[in-house]
Structure 1
Amino acid sequence: MRLQDIQNQALQLPAGDRWQLVQVLLDSLKREANLKPKRGNLSRLRGIAKISADAGESNAQADYVTYLTEKYQ
């Protein structure tokens, strides 16, 4: 059965049955969406805390020491 055939048959149903069909389809999509892991969100954050090569490790340590010194004065 093709999608177009299903659509045509659905449009011939009474309004109450069409609403019920819509609800069943939406519930099915919600369940399917909840089962799939959301991988895209974390991959975009990769490298966000990375220190640039120009800054160097010593600058990061010095900045942290300065931050702690100012915080606890």
Structure 2
Amino acid sequence: MTLHELQKQVLQLPASDRWQLVQTLLESLKQEANPRLKRGNLSRLRGIAKISVAADNTDPKDDYATYLTKKYQ
């Protein structure tokens, strides 16, 4: 069956059936446009912005200054 033949047959369907067909086609296109791999990428980033809390609750500015001092010695 060619695309033209399919279009001809679809136009003969009642409006409610055509709407259902449109919804089905849109859902299939959404699934192809948004593959599940994209969703998995975000889950791998979970926790990336966590701040580690020091046990002795030191000042973050002091910690950063100490880090820079050690780094550039």
Measured against the shorter chain, the TM-score band is 0.3 to 0.5
**TM-score of the aligned structures, taking structure 1 as reference length:** 0.48
**TM-score of the aligned structures, taking structure 2 as reference length:** 0.48
